[in-house]
Structure 1
Amino acid sequence: MNIKILPKYRYNAVHKPNQLIYGTGKTAIVTGWTVKDAIAKKLDSSEFAVIGQLYSPTRGINLLIRNLLNNPYVRCLIILDSTKEDHNAGGGTCLMDFFRHGVKEGVSETGRPCWIICSSIKGYIDIDIPLIILEQLRNAVFAQKTNSIDKAIQLIKSCKDIELGTWGPPFITSINTSQPNYINTRPGSRYGHRLEGKTISATWIKIIHHIRTIGTIRPTGYDGQWQELIDLVAVVTEEPPEFYFPQPNYLPCDRDFIQKYIHQILDDAPVVEGVKYTYGQRLRSWFKRDQIEQVITKLIGEIDAASAVMSLWDVKDHEKGGSPCLNHIWLRVVDNELSLTATLRSNDMFSAWPANAFGLRALQQYIKEQISDRAGVPLNMGPLITISQSAHIYDDCYDYADRIIQDQYQKLINSEHTQYADPIGNFLVETEGSDIVVKQTTPGSGEIIGIYRDKNIVNLGRKICSDNISIQPSHAVYLGMQIQKAKYSLVNNETFLQS
């Protein structure tokens, strides 16, 4: 009896090697949002070359293709596309479309020349890879998409005994990754930051600008870097019920994606082997309690309760990993206004925060409507507040973030200045005799709530700022300019009354 000994290979991942599970076979396995260990534990290491996850088509496929080009003995690619997250992100579909339909020349959303995958899902491959090499890869690799772990295992095992040689020599190139501009990265506080905007899109622009301006560069556990702020509070005050999307839409998500994503927060989901939790699952059934129903009942019975709290953190997460980024949610009614505050231990502020914010806002809206329908209490929508312990932007998003900042940030700031309103109130500057007098009034009625008087403009400015520590920076600058005008008038024996 002849026993066939199959050759053993060693997959060499040039990009993101620490995120992969390695074997000695010749089948590559992409698990999408399914935990890669869920498949690895069902296989012998000789049955696969590599197993890895694919979350984002625009950020993951390019690296995946480069690694396949470096390992030309891999002739089978099995793509698992089995979860709601897979369907929403579209990574598996886009990857399969590459093998089915190829690419065309174009530019990415950052204006970078690239190969665009011929798919309804956005996906890019670096233009420095010759088209003839991509075509060789497409023709040489058998790619198959499946929707369950069991079917994936069957396909993998059927590929084991296929005898095919390498389709060509390894193709190895380096990537010119965008590095942060250290000259423009300014010093700033390490801990505790607060940003506010009317809409999610406006707040997001301020967030990425703030991180790119003063964020600290740190290595990640994923073979890369991120720019990070610690403990970032983001406040969204007036997001409309139907959600606002700018036109043209520069957010990393669109309305169709958000409509699907909302269900991952509002709806329960069954526990499936290998499939990561959803936030809705953690809120609805993970702890054998429907926490959303609990807070609705709590607030109906005690509208001003300070204990309408939901937790997504399980103490077992320390042991098994895969802990949720979203940890706690608080609902609070103050002055007939329902606010929602959420804490996130780790937050990708560029790619994930907008979707997080839309989903949380939908949850806030749902709870408000349920309280109104069940108890007849017509609440107003208050702010959405997120507290991100690690608020970061990954290095592969720097280019896109910088383009958004360049195109949108100053427009936003200019538009906000034309609609100026500071919650601390207004200031009226005038001169009386030899003194500069600054009267502080309420933002609504204009009632005088404070009077500051001094000849020395430095002392005057310090006193006002020490009494009003949350004064908006642009307001403080404008106030300083008016005080300086008043001082100039005194020097010239003139009176001054701010107009």
Structure 2
Amino acid sequence: MTVALKANQFEYKALYKPNQLIYGLGQTAVITGWTVKQAIALHLHTSEYAVIGQLYSPTRGINLLIRNLLYNPHVRFLVVLNATKEDKNAGAGECLLDFFFHGFEEGVSDNGLPCWVIRSNIPGYIDIEVEKSALEQLRESVKFASAKSIADAVNQAKSYALEETLPAWGKKLEFPLSTVQPSILPGPRYGHRIEGKTIAETWVKIIHRIKTTGTIRPTGYDGQWQELIDLIAVVTDEPEDFYFPEPNYLPIDRNFLQEYISQILDDAPYQEGVKYTYGQRLRSWFGRDQIEQVIQKLIGEIDAASAVMNLWDVKDHDKGGSPCLNHIWLRVVDNELSLTATLRSNDMFAAWVANAMGLRALQQHIRDDIAKRSEYDLKMGPLITISQSAHIYDDTWSNAEQLIQKQYAAICRKIDYNDECGNFLIEVDQGKIVVTHTTMGSGEVVGSYFGKDALTLIREICAASPSIRPDHAGYLGMELNKAAECLKIGKQYVQDRK
């Protein structure tokens, strides 16, 4: 049975992300940024707001938010909360306010597609399919305010609720939303390993792997993602001051990074509406400073395998909002400090680069503190992340495709031919193909293979060294085939000679 609404009550219907919003019966939309939306709803009656929702990203979230507002013209007031360091760092609330303050103009998005660009220092885009006149009408029809605290936002919403009920500014407007449906190649779903010298290089490889072989699944956030399960990323040589390509195609810049590193290294006091920061979980959440603990652990026992930091609280099962980063492990091998981090759920397009750089900064901090307080002068080893759910949300598929087109081929051309599995020397001797397996550094002989059939030999080599690089295995297959042909026709074989 449908319940009739009172004359001064309205019904908000979201076209996009409907399950991520809190609905009321008023005329004010409250945008909470990184502050949990329930922290605002707790202090308001449903008649005092139309909808309450969080806005994390200007490039991903504003477009859908604007589309929802166009479909709900009864919303005549807007409150934007910018209360936390995360809000200021992301800039989503600032960009949204700039849309209403300064407007927009025609331009291109960061993936090169035509769009409406918000006049703001923070990049923000609206689909070009949305009519300009509709956007201008929305700007003229909605009264807006910025809030710096939960109390400020609540008071502003209550103030708007006391104003005279206004008629809807127009009809419900809906515009087509273009989507990119990826082409998927067959490949394993579980267990992947990707390695790169820098975080930037590794990120492009990760995005390519997910976009080409990832499984498309529905998310719990009103959309889809493309996902691989248990993706191991190994970064071997990230410089101390971090590598940012020029022009910068990463989803973060140096200013954002400095703020983000603080969220990992520094403790944070409890703040209403803020779930946690990683730094808070590491420094004080469990009553102990875990970063200090692992430093002392390694100084006292440099070979320890128990330098562990944990961010998961068993209470997270009950209350929701659990941290994506769950477990950090430090290990010293051959005077080299590595850091391995496990993330249960990882947005690989928008979040992994910041995650990786923040973790690298934590690794450097621990290495430096050990050096200051002991005789150990450790080298920086690799950073390893294990992303149990490594995914790309559907609203970034187009950006991911553009990234791959522009950057992946160039990265693949920068091939480092060193394979940790070693080198293989191929000769033809006494009517047989002879393959000698040596170590990469010292050239120590660790194995030999003999035969006349190239396919049999490459299968034996790959069975004995299953971690051999795919391009190395392909090269060996071609060289062994050449050796086999030379053997058949009695021609001299020389490795790497055409």
TM-score interval, smaller chain = over 0.9
Cα displacement string for residues 420-474 of structure 1 (whole angstroms, at most 9, x for unaligned residues): 1001111111100110001111111222221111112222111100110100000
SS in 2 for 1:169: coil
1:394 is aligned to 2:396? no
Name the amino acid aligned to 2:228: L
Structure 1 distance, partners of 2:103, 2:159, is 26
1:479 — aligned with what?
476
For 2:448, the equivalent position in structure 1 comes to 451
TM superposition shift of 1:495? 2.7
| Deviation by residue 1:151-174 (Cα, 9 ceiling, x = unmatched) | 111101000021222212221223
Q: Aligned letter for 2:325?
A: L
Q: Does 1:498 align with 2:495?
A: yes
Which residue matches 2:122? 121
171-180 or 73-82, larger mean C-alpha shift: 171-180
- Find the residue that maps to 1:383 and give its secondary structure: strand
* d(CA) in 1 for partners of 2:53, 2:16: 12
User: Could you tell me whether the CA contact under 8 Å between 1:33 and 1:276 is conserved in 2?
Assistant: no
Q: Partner amino acid for 1:368?
A: R
Task: Please give the secondary structure, in 2, of the residue aligned with 1:160.
Answer: helix
Q: What letter corresponds to residue 223 of structure 1 in structure 2?
A: D
**Contact 1:27-1:47 at 8 Å conserved across structures:** yes
Residue identity (%): 64
Q: Provide the residue aligned with 1:79 in structure 2.
A: 80
Structure 2: give runs of 5+ residues left out of the alignment. 1-5
Which amino acid in the other structure matches residue 178 of structure 2? N
C-alpha distance in structure 1 between counterparts of 2:186 and 2:115, whole Å: 35
Whole-angstrom distance in 1 between the partners of 2:132 and 2:210: 37
In structure 1, distance between residues paired with 2:242 and 2:495: 39
After TM superposition, give the deviation of residue 271 of structure 1 in Å: 1.0
Q: Which residue of 1 aligns with 2:207?
A: 208
In structure 1, what is the equivalent of residue 419 of structure 2?
422
Runs of 4+ in 1 over 2 A off after TM superposition: none
**Partner Cα separation in structure 1 for residue 232 and residue 78 of structure 2:** 43
- The 5-angstrom pairing of residues 260-409 of structure 1 reads 260-409=259-408
1:432 aligns with 2:429: yes
What's the CA shift for 1:260? 1.1
Alpha-carbon separation, structure 2, partners of 1:58 and 1:236: 27
Structure 1: any 5+ residue segments left out of the alignment?
A: none
Structure 1 residue matching 2:229: 3-state secondary structure: strand
Equivalent residues of 2:434, 2:451 under 8 A apart = yes
Q: How far did residue 321 of structure 1 move?
A: 0.5
Q: Give the CA deviation at 1:276.
A: 2.1
Aligned equivalent of 1:170, options 162, 165, 172: 172
**Residues 201 and 354 in structure 1, CA contact (< 8 A), matched pair in contact too:** yes
- Structure 2 match to 1:248: 247
Output the amino acid matched with 2:173. Answer: F
| Partner Cα separation in structure 2 for residue 187 and residue 136 of structure 1 | 47
Q: CA deviation at 1:281?
A: 0.4
Cα distance in structure 2, aligned partners of 1:408 and 1:455: 41
Report the AA paired with residue 497 of structure 1: V
Q: How far is 1:379 from its partner?
A: 0.2
1:23 is matched with 24
Matching residue's letter, 1:156: A
Q: Is the 8 A contact 1:21 1:51 kept in 2?
A: yes
Bigger mean CA offset, 286-295 vs 172-181: 172-181
* Secondary structure in structure 1 of the residue aligned to 2:448: strand
Query: Are residues 1:462 and 2:467 paired?
Result: no
For residues 72-106 of structure 1, what are the alpha-carbon distances to aligned partners after superposition, in whole Å with 9 as ceiling and x for unaligned? 11111001111111111100000000000000110
**Kept after mapping to 2: 8 A contact 1:20/1:50:** yes
1:286-344 CA-partner distances (Å, limit 9, x unpaired): 00100000000000000010000000000000010000000000000000000000000
RMSD (Å) for aligned C-alpha atoms: 1.0
CA distance in 2, matches of 1:6, 1:40: 23
Secondary structure at 1:158 match in 2: helix
Distance in 2 between residues matched to 1:231 and 1:133, nearest whole Å: 44
Shift of 1:494: 2.0
Which residue in 1 is equivalent to 2:61?
A: 60
SS at match of 2:370: helix
- TM-score norm. by structure 2 comes to 0.97
2-structure distance, mates of 1:302, 1:430: 48
Tell me the secondary structure at the aligned position of residue 73 of structure 2.
Answer: coil
Residues in 1 aligned to 2:431 and 2:120: alpha-carbon distance in whole angstroms:
73
Aligned residues: 490
* CA distance in structure 2 between the aligned counterparts of 1:277 and 1:423, rounded to whole angstroms: 40
- After TM superposition, give the deviation of residue 6 of structure 1 in Å: 6.1
